[in-house]
Structure 1
Amino acid sequence: MENISMNPNIIKDYEKRIIAAQQKVNYYKKLVNTYSLSRLGAFLLFVLVVVLCAIDNQYILLEVSTFLFIVLFGWLVSKQSKYEVEKTFFQNLQTVNENEIANMLTRSNIYDNGQEYYNEKHYYTSDLDIFGQSSLFQLVNRAATPLGNEKLATWLNVPSVKELILKRQQSVQELGSKLDWKMDFQASILFAVKQEKNQLKQLFAYLRIATAIPGEKWLISYAKIAPWLLLASIVATVFYHNTGFLIVLIALINNRITSSKGEYIEKADLVAGKMGKVLGNYALIFSMIENENFESEHCNAIAERLKSKQNGSVSANIKTLSKLINKLNIRLNMVLGALFNMFLLWSVKQVIAIEIWKRNNQQSLEDAFEAVAEFEALLSIAGLYINYPDWCFPEIADGDGYTLTAAGIAHPLINSLTRVENDYELNDTLKIDIITGSNMAGKSTFLRTLGINTILALCGAPVCAKSMRVSVMTIISYMRIKDSLNESTSTFKAELDRLQMLLGAVGGDEKVYFLIDEMLRGTNSVDKYKGSKAVIEQLIRKRGVGLVATHDLQIALLEEKYPDYVRNFYFDIQVKDGEMLFDYKIKHGECKTFNASLLLKQIGIDVDAD
């Protein structure tokens, strides 16, 4: 598939960002390698010192060397980890910029295509290609988190109210002007693409239940003095060689205490152990939102939800929890874990600190993560605003009637080099438009064009048109009706079920705009015409509004019977030298030229033969 819409300027901008990110990746990769070799060198030097001290019985030098090694090794690990984070960020930044270009050129996307939200029984998402492969969701989505995907899917599943649509439009325009921030945000949260979907839910459940560890008060006090006891023992050994057993005694006592609290340590590690680094990443995301200055009302309100917490900002609290979990994870390092637990009561100290954090942060964190999801959905829509500047933000119309007016409207999933723009006008009124035309002339595509752009418009996104005005209304489509072997449903029964759903929805309190493509295909031509005519007349009585595409010219005669309610439109063909030429342009009136005979002749069937 070629490009959807070309914007050479933004592509060049993405290419510059890719080059700059790659340079940073190379820089930090060298630093990471340098500190990795330094760690190896420090460890080998420490082993050499241990051997020499053992040979010469230099126990004091061994103790000092061990202490210095712990400090040095910890510092080297810290520096390497810092540069690893920077390298990963710029790798992700390169990836998200490359993805924007690929998405514009080929519609591919590293983010989820929304297949899990595909539902054939939904009002319109199946017929209008909202979810799944080569869908609108695949074009739009830039959400890395499961909650972000769910948020965007909800926006595309249900139309929003006018006030919220207008707020989102303002937010999208503001975020579109913050391209640096947008791409940094996407790079920083890209880790969540591979995150287990239930991981956060399990963490929330764990954090909501604080546990009192037996003997917690004295353990807190002892953990504070444990390092000093170790230092005192080392000093004593310097002056009194026969006191070296104190170090061994402290190590045995601390090891016993740590073992006795193993149940609590293992539980914390099982649920939260894998989340230390992830929470640290989320803390950065929260911080990016908290520290950014937003002018739009909607963005500012979302950001405030992260700042106005009882115990400080969300980013600060999450960062604290992340550090505690990461400190607990030091126990997984065989060398440092053993030393820290024996001499600093390390694991017990961190588990107690985590439980205290849980008690002091009982407020739900779900709202904070919902705020991140909201930004992900807004940034997804902002991508359309940035990448396709020829698109427009629609005006949301008021009025008792229905409005769906557009100039230069086209299908956003069709290549910009081949798609055809059309104009359409339904201005604060009640109408049913009958569209007749030849096979492959563009009827179905036009219905989908109006439908998919309306879905974009009513979630706050720009639309693929020069201008558009639209009422807040629910789309109901009747297009790809299929049988179901699993449900023992024939095509005709499936059509009847869809019609029943449509007729039940029309005439209610909410505005419903229907898109019907060739009604009652599962029956004979006589019943098809009679049934289609009866359905349309019932829709007229219910004051229904929408489009009906059909090959049956008799349906177009309803304009004569209901001149104030029914309008006729058509798509036609031009036949030159036996070749069919399509312009895919909608016109007023009913179609006079059909192409079925020509198409059959092309495959060797002469319909005029006796």
Structure 2
Amino acid sequence: MNNDILNDYAQRSAAAKNEADKFKKLANTYSFLRLGIFALVIAAVAAGVVYDTFTIIAVSVVILMLAFAWLVARQGKFERERDYYNDLAKINDNEADSIRTYGNLYDSGARFINEKHYYTADLDIFGKASLFQLVNRAATTPGNDKLAAWLSAPATKELILQRQEAVKELSAKKNWKLDLQARLLFAANADVNQLKRLFNYLHVPLNLPGEKTLKRYTIIAPYLLSALIIAAIFVPLVKPLAVLLALINMGIVFSKASYIKQTDLVAGKIGDTLSRYAVAFKKAEDEQWQSAYSNNLSQQLREAHTSARINELSLLINKLNYHLNIIVGVILNVFFVWDIKQIIAIEQWKRDNVHNFETSFEVLAEFEALISIAGLHINYPEWAIPQIADGDGYTLTANKIAHPLIAPGKRIANDYALNDAFKADIITGSNMAGKSTFLRTMGINTVLALCGAPVCAESMQVSVINIISYMRIKDSLNESTSTFKAELDRLQMLLGAVATEPKVFFLIDEMLRGTNSVDKYLGSKAVIEQLISKRAVGMVATHDLQIAKLEEKYPDYVRNFYFDIQVVNGEMLFDYKLKHGECKTFNASLLLKQIGIEIRIES
């Protein structure tokens, strides 16, 4: 555990909390000042009544209301700063918790669990205590979706290399990374479908009847009513006309109430949220990047003027929300036909920006996914950036590779080498000796490598390969599927992938457990030989020593490895180290004996 990294997060968190406390005190002070303004308004009204003069009331109320509005604005600013620094403290505390306990305040990716995926269920990619939970720093729904996609399929070599460069650069921009995370943390608790609903709304036109005519009228309406009011002061006969126009304006607003409500249902609830997104987009636009990947993302946002346009939509929506104050809403609609004016402006914004809007959130999602994998490089600087190998054969070579989800004090590192070759490796060994963990270690680190992330190893070289796993085969009562049928389905998927997908690398853990020992051996042997005939590459973990004899039949293709145990004074000692050859020591009888079951050897 790197104490320097933990100390840095602790210092950052403490500094952020101090700033949050400072702005909290300022916000409270201005809140009390607002109460003081309210008391002064009452005093001014009382003074006006006592001295029987309206001038005192009018002048005092105007001045004090302006002061009140200024105090509200200042208090709002301080509250936003307070919330930002509180979130920044949470972000830093979360990084420390992740290193210490693998905890994470971000989503675990449980909604991405798919038992039928090629490898994600077997390799613990999604869900509780998963790779996604370790890595994820995406707050937005598109960001979570993007990271899940990266972990669900290998990228091309070119894309992997670009992401690696971006990760290195982001790791050197720790302040920027943590700042953006804090700016976006609000989205972690938002409805998963919030942005989806907004995207759908922006794609559907409101089709407001008479929009062009209404737009022209909203421009002249305030001037027309103001002129009538001024004229009424000098010509009392005009007063009914001013009242009539005010009623007409309100009538126009009421006649379009269904359209206003339609806009308000979706857009009206997200104005402040969009202003927060605008700040986050601004951070991505303004930062200077050297890596081609990040620079391209930032350039897309700059060219689309993303932050400015999203802020514009936020302001339009917030203006529409003025009608939530009944008094203010009536005045604005009487003079400006306000609600109509705003929904027309929002519709125009939709027509001008809808396509760029979704694209911009995809770019932000890319940044969140990059931030997530860059976090590994920051928190675990000893992890390697893997080399992506070329060649017609398969390369999967690693020095001191270990499982990233096992605590550093408990994980055991191994070496493994497959250099531009075609091999099927048979791994035998005792129960609990480490076969399954080793397969998952190779698989999960390969998933990290092929999305552009660092790996839990001293060094690693890997081809762009497609992992297919056969490990946790389960029956299904809902689908009326037995364990054996589930195994057959998985084998069919594996063999189909070998025939259709490029460079399949299989990870098989104890094949055909759902049948008798004779069929298990014969079936496993037949499957492996079929894989060999198709020049498939991968690893098979098994207890069946007869499978290891395939090395004699295919000496140029099959290699044997094993995990063993040492029995000292009846106690089993595991070293969890991969060795060449066949396993000669097994422990099932010893394990059974420990729980009180004696095995008698029949003569």
| Both proteins in one fold, TM over 0.5 | yes
Q: Report the AA paired with residue 225 of structure 1.
A: Y
1:478-493 alignment, distance < 5 Å: 478-493=470-485
Residue number in structure 1 paired with 2:155: 160
Residue number in structure 2 paired with 1:541: 533
Residues of 1 paired with 2:221 and 2:198: CA distance?
Answer: 26
SS at match of 1:436: strand
SS at match of 1:506: helix
Compared with structure 1, are the counterparts of its residues 32 and 248 closer, same or farther at alpha carbon in structure 2 (3 Å cutoff)?
Answer: farther
Residue number in structure 2 paired with 1:193: 188
Given candidates 405, 417, 436, the residue that maps to 1:425 is 417
Compared with structure 1, are the counterparts of its residues 298 and 125 closer, same or farther at alpha carbon in structure 2 (3 Å cutoff)?
Answer: same
Residues of 2 paired with 1:315 and 1:346: CA distance?
Answer: 25
CA contact (8 A) 1:223 1:349 kept: no
Residue 305 (structure 1) shift = 1.2
1:320 aligns with 2:312: yes
Residues of 1 paired with 2:100 and 2:353: CA distance?
Answer: 46
Residue number in structure 2 paired with 1:174: 169
CA contact (8 A) 2:225 2:246 kept: no
Compared with structure 1, are the counterparts of its residues 351 and 339 closer, same or farther at alpha carbon in structure 2 (3 Å cutoff)?
Answer: same
Residues of 2 paired with 1:191 and 1:557: CA distance?
Answer: 58
How big is each residue's C-alpha offset from its partner over 1:335-364, in whole Å with a ceiling of 9 and x where there is no partner? 544444455554344333323333433544
Given candidates 427, 437, 440, the residue that maps to 1:448 is 440
Aligned-residue Cα RMSD (Å) equals 2.5
Residue number in structure 2 paired with 1:3: none
How big is each residue's C-alpha offset from its partner over 1:361-390, in whole Å with a ceiling of 9 and x where there is no partner? 354411000000000000000000100011
Residues of 1 paired with 2:597 and 2:351: CA distance?
Answer: 80
Residue number in structure 2 paired with 1:71: 66
Residues of 2 paired with 1:463 and 1:232: CA distance?
Answer: 75
Query: Could you tell which deviates more after superposition, 246-255 or 13-22?
Result: 246-255
1:394 aligns with 2:386: yes
Residues of 2 paired with 1:315 and 1:174: CA distance?
Answer: 23
SS at match of 1:367: helix
1:329-340 alignment, distance < 5 Å: 329-340=321-332
Residue number in structure 1 paired with 2:217: 219
Given candidates 122, 125, 130, the residue that maps to 1:127 is 122
SS at match of 2:276: helix
Residue 180 (structure 1) shift = 0.2
Q: Report the AA paired with residue 89 of structure 1.
A: Y
Given candidates 68, 91, 95, the residue that maps to 1:96 is 91
Q: Report the AA paired with residue 384 of structure 2.
A: C
Residue 304 (structure 1) shift = 1.3
Residue 199 (structure 1) shift = 2.0
Compared with structure 1, are the counterparts of its residues 213 and 34 closer, same or farther at alpha carbon in structure 2 (3 Å cutoff)?
Answer: farther
Residue number in structure 2 paired with 1:118: 113
Residues of 2 paired with 1:381 and 1:348: CA distance?
Answer: 46
SS at match of 1:361: helix
SS at match of 2:468: strand
CA contact (8 A) 2:98 2:134 kept: yes
SS at match of 2:270: helix
Query: Could you tell which deviates more after superposition, 506-515 or 211-220?
Result: 211-220
Q: Report the AA paired with residue 12 of structure 2.
A: R
Residue number in structure 1 paired with 2:4: 9
Query: Could you tell which deviates more after superposition, 437-446 or 352-361?
Result: 352-361
Residue number in structure 2 paired with 1:45: 40
Given candidates 293, 312, 315, the residue that maps to 2:288 is 293
Gaps of 5+ in 2: none
1:269-418 alignment, distance < 5 Å: 269-309=264-304, 313-342=305-334, 345-418=337-410
Residues of 2 paired with 1:570 and 1:232: CA distance?
Answer: 96
Query: Could you tell which deviates more after superposition, 424-433 or 76-85?
Result: 76-85
Compared with structure 1, are the counterparts of its residues 68 and 220 closer, same or farther at alpha carbon in structure 2 (3 Å cutoff)?
Answer: farther
Residues of 2 paired with 1:509 and 1:483: CA distance?
Answer: 26
Residues of 2 paired with 1:257 and 1:452: CA distance?
Answer: 62
1:604 aligns with 2:596: yes
Compared with structure 1, are the counterparts of its residues 62 and 241 closer, same or farther at alpha carbon in structure 2 (3 Å cutoff)?
Answer: farther
Residues of 2 paired with 1:308 and 1:248: CA distance?
Answer: 48
CA contact (8 A) 2:426 2:542 kept: yes
Q: Report the AA paired with residue 189 of structure 1.
A: L
Residue 270 (structure 1) shift = 1.7
Residues of 1 paired with 2:34 and 2:240: CA distance?
Answer: 30
Residues of 1 paired with 2:64 and 2:262: CA distance?
Answer: 31
Compared with structure 1, are the counterparts of its residues 363 and 286 closer, same or farther at alpha carbon in structure 2 (3 Å cutoff)?
Answer: same
How big is each residue's C-alpha offset from its partner over 1:444-489, in whole Å with a ceiling of 9 and x where there is no partner? 0000000000000000000000000001011111111111111111
Residue 231 (structure 1) shift = 9.6
Query: Matched residue pairs, number?
Result: 599
1:580 aligns with 2:572: yes
Residues of 1 paired with 2:448 and 2:220: CA distance?
Answer: 61
Compared with structure 1, are the counterparts of its residues 156 and 322 closer, same or farther at alpha carbon in structure 2 (3 Å cutoff)?
Answer: same
Residues of 2 paired with 1:580 and 1:606: CA distance?
Answer: 17
Compared with structure 1, are the counterparts of its residues 207 and 530 closer, same or farther at alpha carbon in structure 2 (3 Å cutoff)?
Answer: closer
CA contact (8 A) 1:436 1:556 kept: yes
CA contact (8 A) 1:28 1:86 kept: yes
Residue number in structure 1 paired with 2:426: 434
Compared with structure 1, are the counterparts of its residues 353 and 463 closer, same or farther at alpha carbon in structure 2 (3 Å cutoff)?
Answer: same
CA contact (8 A) 1:401 1:430 kept: yes
CA contact (8 A) 2:206 2:259 kept: no
Q: Report the AA paired with residue 218 of structure 2.
A: I
CA contact (8 A) 1:213 1:352 kept: no
Q: Report the AA paired with residue 171 of structure 1.
A: A
Residue 146 (structure 1) shift = 0.6
CA contact (8 A) 1:507 1:543 kept: no
SS at match of 1:12: helix
SS at match of 2:561: strand
Residues of 1 paired with 2:595 and 2:242: CA distance?
Answer: 93
Query: Could you tell which deviates more after superposition, 539-548 or 50-59?
Result: 50-59
Residue number in structure 1 paired with 2:465: 473
How big is each residue's C-alpha offset from its partner over 1:153-173, in whole Å with a ceiling of 9 and x where there is no partner? 011111111000100101111
Given candidates 439, 444, 457, the residue that maps to 2:449 is 457
CA contact (8 A) 2:387 2:461 kept: yes
The share of aligned pairs that are identical, in percent, is: 60
Residues of 2 paired with 1:155 and 1:376: CA distance?
Answer: 12
Q: Report the AA paired with residue 168 of structure 2.
A: Q
Residue 32 (structure 1) shift = 1.1
Compared with structure 1, are the counterparts of its residues 591 and 330 closer, same or farther at alpha carbon in structure 2 (3 Å cutoff)?
Answer: same
Residue 33 (structure 1) shift = 1.1
1:562-581 alignment, distance < 5 Å: 562-581=554-573
CA contact (8 A) 1:250 1:343 kept: no
Residues of 1 paired with 2:239 and 2:52: CA distance?
Answer: 13
CA contact (8 A) 2:466 2:504 kept: yes
Q: Report the AA paired with residue 220 of structure 2.
A: Y
1:502 aligns with 2:481: no
Residues of 1 paired with 2:548 and 2:350: CA distance?
Answer: 68
Residue number in structure 1 paired with 2:29: 34
Residues of 2 paired with 1:464 and 1:359: CA distance?
Answer: 48
Given candidates 521, 539, 544, the residue that maps to 1:552 is 544
How big is each residue's C-alpha offset from its partner over 1:550-596, in whole Å with a ceiling of 9 and x where there is no partner? 11111111111110011010001111111111000000000111111
User: What TM-score do the two structures reach when normalised by structure 1?
Assistant: 0.92
Query: Could you tell which deviates more after superposition, 492-501 or 322-331?
Result: 322-331
SS at match of 2:410: coil
Residue 134 (structure 1) shift = 0.2
SS at match of 2:512: coil
Q: Report the AA paired with residue 222 of structure 1.
A: I
SS at match of 2:495: helix
CA contact (8 A) 2:228 2:239 kept: no
Residues of 1 paired with 2:39 and 2:349: CA distance?
Answer: 39
Residue 606 (structure 1) shift = 1.8
CA contact (8 A) 1:226 1:345 kept: no
Residues of 2 paired with 1:88 and 1:380: CA distance?
Answer: 22
